[in-house]
Amino acid sequence: MHRFANPNVFLRLSNRIMPWSTGVMIASLVAGLVFALGASPADYQQGESVRIMYVHVPAAWMALFIYICLAGASAVALIWKHPLADLAAKASSPVGACFTFIALATGALWGKPMWGAWWVWDARLTSMLILFFLYLGHMALANAFEDSERGAKSAAILALVGVINIPIIKFSVDWWNTLHQPASVVRMGGPSIHPSMLTPLLLMAIAFTAYYVTVVILRLRGEILARKIRALRMIRVQAESKGESGPYLREI
């Protein structure tokens, strides 16, 4: 992994990945929406409101997946001092926060006709809300200090501490009596959901994953370019302070 610590190597790799991730995102999103809105039937109990599931469930999956990625990047940054790991964590947290918000918002829309309430202090809902605050806390800490390294270290520690919330979210329906149903896709014995509903669900999950990859690459490239600009400006300031400014420095 250390060879990818070189920003130029990463930029070359990202140029190869970007067209594929963008293409997969568009194709799976279009196919997922066609299946979700057209081919997939309404539920015999929930009616047409079941179609919220095709956004709500993949968004919830992504909220957990991105936090695991964020925590992994934070661990790599703290242990191995990988220069791009902090940037990857910083790039991931806003995307994860957006998916968590989408999961909470669509859950409220889905819960109103099903449970009769927009919000209940259900174990899974509460732990998902905590996950949303963890994302916000990570973003706040990463930008809270003038010293970017200090902010990145504080945010990384918070991310690792917050990992304990992930199994709570995952197994909350098994550990406590909640309104959410047990797992119906990833379970022993295979999925219990009908293929007509499983297909659009998985297609939307692929689309959301490809979106995450695409956006993180774009944000990482932006962070790398911003750091290069800051480094060039520092060189210019140091050169001017020594009276060494030349034409090439004035053009920066």
Instruction: Examine the pLDDT at 249 and tell me if it is beyond 50.
Output: no
Residue 226, pLDDT score: 84
Q: What per-residue confidence (pLDDT) applies to 248?
A: 47
- Give the Cα separation of 191 and 183 in Å (integer): 9
Q: Are 233 and 252 in contact (CB under 8 A)?
A: yes
Q: How far apart are CA 127 and CA 106, in angstroms?
A: 16
Distance CA 45, CA 201 (A): 19
* Model pLDDT, residue 239: 78
Q: What confidence tens digit (pLDDT) does each residue in 176-229 have?
A: 766 666 666 655 455 668 788 899 999 999 999 999 999 999 999 998 888 788
Q: Which two tokens stand for residue 69?
A: 């990625």
For the chain, what percent of residues have pLDDT higher than 90? 55
Ordered structural domains, the chain, with CATH: 19-177+195-217 (1.20.120)
Q: Residue 194 half-sphere exposure, CB side, CA atoms within 13 Å?
A: 9
Contact 104, 129 (CB under 8 A): yes
Report the range out of 43-57, 136-150, 178-192 with the highest average pLDDT: 136-150
Which pLDDT score is estimated for 163? Answer: 96
Residue 55 scores a pLDDT above 90 = yes
Confidence at 130, pLDDT banded by 50, 70, 90: very high
Give the pTM: 0.87
Give yes or no for residue 157 having a pLDDT over 90: yes
> What would the two tokens of residue 19 be?
């067209």
122 versus 27: which is more confidently predicted? 27
pLDDT given for residue 252 in this prediction: 44
